[in-house]
Structures are given as C-alpha cells and as structure tokens.
Structure 1
Amino acid sequence: MVELPSTLTTVQNRLGNKAGFARTGAFLALIVSATIVLNLVASLAVVTIIGSDAGSTVTFIAGATGTELSFLLIGVGYLRYRTTFDLPIQQPDRTTASYVLAGLVASFVTAFVSLGITDVLLPSIEFSPGYMKYTNLNTPTGPGLVLAVVLSLTVIGPIEEFFFRGLIQGRIEAVLRPTGAIGVAGLTFALFHVYPVLLLSPPPIVIAHMTVYYSLMGIVFGWVYHQTDTLLAPVLVHGVFNAVIFTIPLWT
C-alpha cells in the first residue's frame, strides 16, 4: 500500500509523456505539411508573377523571398494560436558572442569539407556532379550577389531561425531532451532544403550528402541557440554564414 502513490505517479507520468509525444508529433506533421504546401504555392506564384524570362538572379531572389514568407506566415500563425509560447530574444552578451564565433567556425568547416567532397572528390570518381548545381548558390551574379547578401542577413537568417530553432526546436524541447530537439529540428531543416532538389532527379548520393550536410548545419545553429538561449545568436550565425557563402564567386 505504501508503494501505491509512487506507482500511480509513475503511471501518470508515463501517460503524460506519451500524450506529449503524440501532440508534438502531430504538431510537427501539421507544421511540416502546411509549410511545404505553402512553399510550393509561393514558388508557383513567383513563377506566374515574374514570368519565365525574368532571369536567373531575379527568379532566385523572388523565389527565396516567397519561400521565407511562407515560413513566416506559418510561424506567426502558430504563435497566434499558442499565445503562451516563449521565444527568447535577449540581447547578446560576451558569452553569446563566443558561441556565435564557435558556431560560425563550425559552419564554415562543415561547408568547406562538404564542398571539397562534392566538388572535388565525388566528381573525380564519377559519383555525382558538383554540389553547386543543386544548391543554386552560384545563381546570383553581379548586383544579385549584393541582394543575396542583404537577403541572407535581413530575411533568410532571421526567418529560418525563427521557424526552425525558435518554433520547431523550442516546441520539441517540451517533450525531448535538448539533444533530441536539436537533432529533430536539424533533420526538419534538412528536409526543407532537400525536397525541392528532388524535383531535379539528382543521383541518390547527392540526396544523401545534402541530407547529412543540412542536418549538420541545422545542428550547429540549434546548438548555438540552446547554449545562448537567445534567437539572435543563431540568426547572426546563419545570416553571416549565408552572406559569406553567397560571395564565394567574388573571391574564387
């Protein structure tokens, strides 16, 4: 009889955990499905509005803007539904700056190892064509590079970190340990960068590589967010990283 309250509490905790996992799984499935649909709608709208003769740079900038707006709309819609959801946006301090620097170093190491594998090693053994063909990172040219840099710092970095780290990682942390939440958010980040490439029918090795690469990048951003507890930190890492990567054609 003495053990009954303890046993009852354990059962209640397990049931609560299962319910939490179920709700979080439903949240993730709904958010991912709705965002993919809105991504596709945004892409079709961009193609319809600007036409097929707009040029690669204009198409890239317009398409990226449409995609980011779809992330923003879904994220804001969820926050209006869950008014108690917390998004930490404290002002960065010295400790935050050290994690931002570490995140940038980890991001660039991951990116350059990735580019070395896909643009040097794999093509040399005829496994796949270069990575740049499937990422569109070399699409902007001339003034488009400047626009891409501005877009990275003011739109892509802030909105994607709000969506993937602030919203998805933050929501998943309610039921998973931080490492699990970072991993799931990283995989979700990879999904949204890989599924558009599937329309180009790339070799399986390209899909596998991009999944690993973007998952690792998402994990880096997620780790920075967890360590600093402010969304501004991964926003800085993501925005600066993208901005530098877009300028590669200027210094290679």
Structure 2
Amino acid sequence: MIGGTVLGGILSVPALLLGGTSLVALTALFVLSQAGYAITGWIYAQRWLNKTIPIKIPTKYQAVWIVASAIGMLAIPIIIEIISSTTGIQYGRVDQQLLTGSPEMVLILVVLSVVLIGPAEEYLFRGVVQGRLSQSMGTPAAIVTASLLFVLPHAIGYTGGVAAVVLLSLVPFSLGLVMGALYERFENLSLPILAHGLYNAILFLTTYFTAF
C-alpha cells in the first residue's frame, strides 16, 4: 500500500513539473498516481500473494448489489456535510482545489473512475491487501484493517485541523468497509471495482452539474 502511494507520487512528479495545472497535466497526474497502485498490487500479487484474485463477470443479481452499494454510499458524504454544518468543522481536499474551474477535468474523472480509479484501488486494497490480511487475521478484521489503510493515501490530500481530517476520513473508511464486505460476500473483485467506480462517477457528475 505504501509502495503504491510512493510509486504513484514518483510517477506523478513529471506531470506536475512539466504541465503545472493544465488539463493534460492533471489527467496525467491522476492516471499515473493510480498506475502506482495497480503496478504495486500486480507485483505483490505475482511474487507474494499465494491465492488467485477472483475477477468474474457479475451476474444480474450481483449487478443489483453493485448499484445498491454505490447509491447507498452516497449517503456518507451527505452525513459528513450535515455533521460539518452542525459542528462548524471546516474541511477541504487538495484534489477538489485542483479541479476548481476545470469542468473538462471533472468529466474526464467520471470516465477514469470507472476504467482506472475503481479497478486500480480495489485491486490493491481489496484484492491484494485485504486478501493477504484475511489469511492471517480472519475476514472481519481484514476488512476493517484494509479499510483503515485505504484511508491513509486519501487523508494525505485533506486540509483543515485534526477534527476535519478525521471527519472526512470517514468517507474512504466507510467505502472500504462496504467494498470489502461486497468482495468477501460474493468472492468476485469485479463487484467492488464496479461499485467503487460508479460511486466516484456519480460524485464527479454531481460536482459537474452543481459547480459549473
């Protein structure tokens, strides 16, 4: 997990140095950072993970769970916003700041959510990390631990005080729990991949239609 974050960061540096915040540079930034997760997960799976990661075409019944999980997860950001409004906790995200004034980039992220972000993050955190942890600590503990680890690369981009970071971290942690349970329930990584991608795509589409 740390290797994926570090590798993604290293791969992203040239894009930032050469292109700044241009559309091409931002696209390269997101693509390369996610590539770091995918490459790290693949290397670990090939060398040290002594189990096959099941990725199969979902059945119609499983497709219902994919959609239901993605839509259900949309309640978490709403709850976070309610808590922020009632407590006065102000939070922010670096990636959202990068997207300010760039509707084209938001639409690109809608596509990347499904074809890259969902697959890369779920392959590493559910397929590899959770899969490896489940061999040593049992499934429930593995889901929780993998979800906590899933928070770390996201929390790096959060701004605000400690309370703000903790509050916003509930989003990736909750996502990790739902995706982890979905993976273990059906033993098919395509479910969390598609649910995660759909969830992110809906969020980016919401941003596009409300902010621009």
| TM-score relative to the length of structure 1 | 0.75
The Cα of 1:135 is off from its aligned counterpart by 4.7
Find the residue that maps to 1:237 and give its secondary structure.
Answer: helix
Contact 2:183–2:192, Cα closer than 8 Å, also in 1: yes
- Amino acid in the other structure paired with 1:161: E
Question: Which residue in the other structure is 2:96 paired with?
Answer: 136
How many residue pairs match? The answer is 209
2:37 corresponds to: 71
Matched, 1:49 2:31: no
Q: Tell me if structure 1 keeps the 8 A contact 2:179–2:192.
A: yes
**Aligned pair partner of 1:40 in 9, 12, 29:** 9
In the superposition, relative to structure 1, how do residues 135 and 96 fare at CA in structure 2: closer, same or farther (>3 Å)?
same
Structure 1 stretches of 4+ moved >6 Å: none
Equivalent-residue separation in structure 1 for 2:141 and 2:112 (angstroms) = 30
Q: Which deviations, in whole Å up to 9, do the C-alpha atoms of 1:58-88 show, x marking residues without a partner?
A: 4432221111011111111112213742111
Superposed, 1:1-252 pairs within 5 Å as 32-50=1-19, 52=20, 54-55=21-22, 57-82=23-48, 84-118=50-84, 120-122=85-87, 125=88, 127-129=89-91, 131=92, 133-136=93-96, 139=99, 141-197=102-158, 202-252=160-210
Structure 1 unmatched runs, 5+: 1-31
Deviations 1:120-165 (A, max 9, x none): 334xx3x324x4x445277163322221111111000111111111
Quote the offset at 1:90 in angstroms.
Answer: 2.1
Q: Check the 8 A contact 1:106/1:220 in 2, yes or no.
A: no
CA distance in 2 between counterparts of 1:206 and 1:58 reads 31
Whole-angstrom CA distance in 1 between matches of 2:10 and 2:99:
22
Seen in structure 2, the aligned counterparts of structure 1 residues 166 and 83 have a Cα distance that, compared at 3 Å, is closer
Secondary structure, in 3 states, of the residue corresponding to 1:38? helix
**Alignment partners' CA distance in 2, 1:226 and 1:107:** 18
- Report the Cα distance in structure 1 between the residues aligned to 2:49 and 2:71, rounded to whole angstroms: 36
SS in 1 for 2:8: helix
For 1:155 and 1:149, locate their aligned partners in 2 and report how far apart those are by CA, in whole Å. 10
Identity rate of aligned residues, in percent?
23
What TM-score does the superposition give when structure 2 sets the normalisation length? 0.88
CA drift at 1:42? 2.2
Deviation by residue 1:20-74 (Cα, 9 ceiling, x = unmatched): xxxxxxxxxxxx3322321331232221232x3x43x444322211110111111
Residue identity in the other structure for 1:95: Y
The CA distance in 2 between the partners of 1:77 and 1:109, in whole Å, is 35
- Return the letter of the residue paired with 1:86: T
The RMSD of aligned alpha carbons is 2.2
- Give yes or no for contact 1:138–1:249 (8 Å, CA) kept in 2: no
